[in-house]
Chain A
Amino acid sequence: MMFLEAQGFFSFLGENIRQFFGYTGFANVTWGHLVMICVGLFFIYLAIRHKFEPMLLVPIGFGILVGNIPFYPGMEVGIYEEGSVLNYLYFGVVKGVYPPLIFLGIGALTDFSALISNPKLMTVGAMAQVGIFGAYMIALALGYTAAEAGAIGIIGGADGPTAIFLTSKLAPDLLGAIAISAYSYMALVPVLQPPVMRLLTTKKERLIRMKPPRPVSQNEKIMFPIIGLLLTCFLVPTGLPLLGMLFLGNLLKESGVTRRLATTAGGPLIDIVTILIGLTVGASTQATTFLTVKSIGIFVIGAFSFIIATFGGVMYVKIMNLFLKEGNKINPLIGNAGVSAVPAAARVSQDVGIKYDRSNYLLMHAMGPNVAGVIGSAVAAGVLLGFLS
């Protein structure tokens, strides 16, 4: 009798252990999960060891780990499972809530003085957006739908929040791949852009010294976000969520009477939203939904979009120089900064420029097209949204 009872107990225990094991990650792991965990670890490595956009890559990399812990479906754990905490947090990505909040913070942190003092640099920010539309054309040729192509194209804008915002509206299924691609290439701007910049410029052009920017009055700084909003949003109202928040953030900063709001928008608020967006975008790369041929295609097109954008910006400056007088010419090495990866792209201009002339500081000049790129990519996103949604 005792033996039978003991046997029953052990079979019960064994059954429970077997059941528990069925719920563990070890029982549900696939090769896809392991690959994605390696990708997540690589992102964290890049961020910590090489300091590639650590503010973004650490939360995203860790998010990839979170999203690829294998689990038994139906436990309300995964990011795609309704009712899970991660799913609630992901709502801000899916509905495009986080990107405008990040733009508010960007606006509060951005100094548009470089652009206001030399406004012709604004058009450099416009022409670097050809990367978006070059990628759009490639994606169409590769058989993606127009909506998917638009979402993929926006990677070329080098603006993570804009990419997330547009993708959530046009092709939500590709959100993880596009966001990861956009942020990865933003982090790899120092690797992707310099070869293209060197290829397109002569040594003489790289040595061009630009006039120091004139001081900008506070009145101009206050007028910029107001006129900027009215002009761009009357032209492209679909860009309103991003542009509205960007210019509001900037007005909070420049008005001089809302310092507390500007500090919050450019500090705690943007930090909180960055953590949330990084974690959830990373976690959205569950192997089951992420490792597809489409995702690989997105990564390849994304790289091309950055190269085309750099090409567009540098070539445009070279063309502009044909019409500018000696002394007013622009160093084409700041053309790459027309993409909106702020301030990484401007830093690339500085780093490449200083290699050829140690006393030629291009950073301040490159910030002009760089912040114009933020406006340009948001306008481009609005155009794509207007045509394709």
Chain B
Amino acid sequence: MRMLLLAGMALGAALLKVSPAQAYGVGDIRINEILVVNENNYEDDYGHRVGWIELHNTGHSKVDVGGCYLTVQQKNDDRDSTWVAYVIPKGDPRTVIPPQGYLVFYAEGTATKGTFHTNFTLDRTGYLALYDQSGKGEPVDEVTYEVAAQQPDVSIGVMRNAEGEAVFMTLPATTPNATNEVEDPVPPHERFRRHDPSGVVMTVTAVAVVYTSLLSLWLIFALIGKLMVRLSNRKKEAPAAAKPAAEGKTPAVVPAGSEGASDISGEELAAIAMAVYRYQRDLHDIESTVLTINKVAKAYSPWSSKIYGLRQFPVKK
């Protein structure tokens, strides 16, 4: 009981330590992709091509980013009065990002075009950050980039490098409202073949896995088998077995190998059982075609009488 209480207290303490951002689910939001110079790329809902920011919900529940802050200005501390940021309007249902979903904001520099148009552009500071609804503390996510190095219509975003780590890098293609991991042109089986053209690695690995799984079953059941045999031997040796005999009763089943047990082997018993089974099955098979010398009489019924089904000749009287 005390252990349970302690575990509960530890859990409560852990929950209390969670930051407000995480509590609201905003902690799952990442800056996934940005395009600084947009010449011939994604158009906003006014038909203009401007820089854009893609947020991604990495979690498995929906998150409302209404009230969060987007900014291109680094903050000295929470009392920094010169800090300017774009507050994502609250109450707009479109700011709810579904699990694993995406949301694009247009960095146009005018805050009068609606929820998704920010009051800053991306081509000035080389910094972008997302703060939670409090606007205080550490940003939920932030990225830095070199403005001068940005190519037209080439976006930067989160992608896995050769080592499999997710890093912010130049992307091979712009993917607004979609994952940055564009489909691998080489299917996994072909990649496997390139590394193992003869199939030796596959053979050795797979046979080892199959062998290991069955070997472990062997070991476990060898152990269980020994335990079971020992248990059954102990039961046989138990003095309780003699009790029915002492009371003058015959045990219902005589254990094999014990005194008084039948000499019939298991194989013979199986053969007898099979013979009985076949005999009974055969009995069933000839049930419907019984050959008899007894007279068979069917009960008369006007319903089955043929005479009533035939047309009667008119009788002249």
Partner of A140, one of B197, B218, B221, B267: B197
Contact status of A375 and B214, CB under 8 A, knowing A130-B207, A236-B209: yes
Asked if B229 contacts A214 (CB within 8 A), the reply is: yes
The interface residues of chain B lying within 8 Å CB-to-CB of A379 are: 209-210, 213-214
Spot the interface stretch: A38-46, A52-60, A227-235, A253-261. Answer: A227-235
The interface residues of chain A lying within 8 Å CB-to-CB of B192 are: 146, 387-388
Q: How far is the CA of A125 from the CA of B215 in the complex (A)?
A: 10
Spot the interface stretch: A21-29, A91-99, A216-224. Answer: A216-224
Q: Chain B: interface residue count, which band?
A: 35 or more
Q: How far is the CA of A125 from the CA of B266 in the complex (A)?
A: 26
Q: Mark B197-226, 1 if CB is under 8 A from A, else 0.
A: 111101101110111111111111110110
The interface residues of chain A lying within 8 Å CB-to-CB of B241 are: none
The reply on B193 being an interface residue by CB < 8 A is: yes
The interface residues of chain A lying within 8 Å CB-to-CB of B225 are: 116-117, 119, 214, 220
Asked if A231 contacts B220 (CB within 8 A), the reply is: yes
The reply on B144 being an interface residue by CB < 8 A is: no
Q: How far is the CA of A98 from the CA of B202 in the complex (A)?
A: 27
Contact status of A231 and B266, CB under 8 A, knowing A127-B211, A220-B225, A387-B202: no
Asked if B207 contacts A126 (CB within 8 A), the reply is: yes
The interface residues of chain A lying within 8 Å CB-to-CB of B193 are: 140, 145-146
Can you name 26 A-B residue pairings with CB atoms under 8 Å? A119-B217, A119-B221, A123-B215, A125-B214, A126-B213, A126-B214, A129-B206, A129-B210, A130-B203, A133-B206, A136-B199, A137-B199, A145-B190, A146-B192, A147-B187, A150-B189, A214-B229, A219-B228, A231-B216, A232-B213, A232-B217, A235-B216, A375-B213, A379-B213, A387-B202, A388-B188
Further pairs besides A136-B199, A137-B200, A379-B213: 4, Cβ < 8 Å: A123-B214, A220-B225, A235-B209, A387-B188
The interface residues of chain A lying within 8 Å CB-to-CB of B213 are: 126, 231-232, 235-236, 375, 379
Q: How far is the CA of A115 from the CA of B200 in the complex (A)?
A: 30
Q: Chain A: interface residue count, which band?
A: 35 or more
Contact status of A147 and B189, CB under 8 A, knowing A123-B214, A387-B202: yes
Q: How far is the CA of A340 from the CA of B216 in the complex (A)?
A: 19
The reply on B232 being an interface residue by CB < 8 A is: yes
The interface residues of chain A lying within 8 Å CB-to-CB of B267 are: 212, 361
Q: How far is the CA of A33 from the CA of B1 in the complex (A)?
A: 75
Interfacial residues, chain B to chain A (CB-CB below 8 A): 187-190, 192-193, 197-200, 202-203, 205-207, 209-222, 224-225, 228-229, 232, 256, 266-267
Q: Give the residue name and chain of the B residue nearest to A121 (CB).
A: B218
The interface residues of chain A lying within 8 Å CB-to-CB of B200 are: 137
Closest CB in chain B relative to A323 CB, distance in Å: 14
The interface residues of chain A lying within 8 Å CB-to-CB of B215 are: 122-123, 126
The interface residues of chain B lying within 8 Å CB-to-CB of A133 are: 199, 202-203, 206-207
Contact status of A380 and B222, CB under 8 A, knowing A133-B199, A137-B200: no
The reply on A79 being an interface residue by CB < 8 A is: no
Asked if B198 contacts A140 (CB within 8 A), the reply is: yes
Q: How far is the CA of A350 from the CA of B149 in the complex (A)?
A: 77
Q: Give the residue name and chain of the A residue nearest to B223 (CB).
A: A119
The interface residues of chain B lying within 8 Å CB-to-CB of A352 are: none
Asked if B202 contacts A126 (CB within 8 A), the reply is: no
| 7 closest A-B pairs by CB | A133-B203, A146-B193, A147-B189, A137-B199, A388-B189, A146-B189, A119-B221
Main secondary structure of the interface of B (DSSP, over half): helix
| Residues 101-141 of A contacting B (Cβ, < 8 Å) | 115-117, 119-120, 122-123, 125-127, 129-130, 132-134, 136-137, 140-141
Q: How far is the CA of A214 from the CA of B229 in the complex (A)?
A: 9
Among A129, A145, A146, A219, residue most surrounded by chain B Cβ atoms (within 10 Å): A146
Q: How far is the CA of A372 from the CA of B215 in the complex (A)?
A: 11
Q: Mark A134-175, 1 if CB is under 8 A from B, else 0.
A: 101100110001110110000000000000000000100000
The interface residues of chain A lying within 8 Å CB-to-CB of B218 are: 119-120, 122-123
The interface residues of chain B lying within 8 Å CB-to-CB of A145 are: 189-190, 193
The interface residues of chain B lying within 8 Å CB-to-CB of A376 are: 210, 214
Q: Give the residue name and chain of the A residue nearest to B206 (CB).
A: A383
Q: How far is the CA of A235 from the CA of B212 in the complex (A)?
A: 9
Q: How far is the CA of A386 from the CA of B68 in the complex (A)?
A: 42
The reply on A384 being an interface residue by CB < 8 A is: yes
The interface residues of chain A lying within 8 Å CB-to-CB of B220 are: 227, 231
Q: How far is the CA of A130 from the CA of B217 in the complex (A)?
A: 19
The reply on A202 being an interface residue by CB < 8 A is: no
Closest CB in chain A relative to B297 CB, distance in Å: 40
Q: How far is the CA of A214 from the CA of B197 in the complex (A)?
A: 46
The interface residues of chain B lying within 8 Å CB-to-CB of A288 are: none
Q: How far is the CA of A217 from the CA of B209 in the complex (A)?
A: 29
The interface residues of chain A lying within 8 Å CB-to-CB of B199 are: 133, 136-137, 140, 149
Partner of B207, one of A129, A212, A361: A129
Q: How far is the CA of A133 from the CA of B211 in the complex (A)?
A: 13
Q: Give the residue name and chain of the B residue nearest to A372 (CB).
A: B214
Q: How far is the CA of A231 from the CA of B202 in the complex (A)?
A: 21
Q: How far is the CA of A215 from the CA of B270 in the complex (A)?
A: 13
The interface residues of chain A lying within 8 Å CB-to-CB of B222 are: 119-120
Partner of B202, one of A119, A123, A136, A227: A136
Asked if B187 contacts A116 (CB within 8 A), the reply is: no
Contact status of A231 and B229, CB under 8 A, knowing A140-B199, A379-B210, A388-B188: no
Asked if B197 contacts A383 (CB within 8 A), the reply is: no
The interface residues of chain B lying within 8 Å CB-to-CB of A125 are: 214
The reply on A389 being an interface residue by CB < 8 A is: yes
The interface residues of chain A lying within 8 Å CB-to-CB of B212 are: 235
The interface residues of chain B lying within 8 Å CB-to-CB of A170 are: 189
Q: Give the residue name and chain of the B residue nearest to A316 (CB).
A: B211
Q: How far is the CA of A375 from the CA of B212 in the complex (A)?
A: 12
The interface residues of chain B lying within 8 Å CB-to-CB of A220 are: 221, 224-225, 228
Q: How far is the CA of A379 from the CA of B213 in the complex (A)?
A: 8
| Residues 352-369 of A contacting B (Cβ, < 8 Å) | 361
Closest CB in chain B relative to A239 CB, distance in Å: 9
Among A122, A125, A227, A228, residue most surrounded by chain B Cβ atoms (within 10 Å): A122
Q: Give the residue name and chain of the B residue nearest to A135 (CB).
A: B199
Partner of B206, one of A117, A127, A215, A380: A380
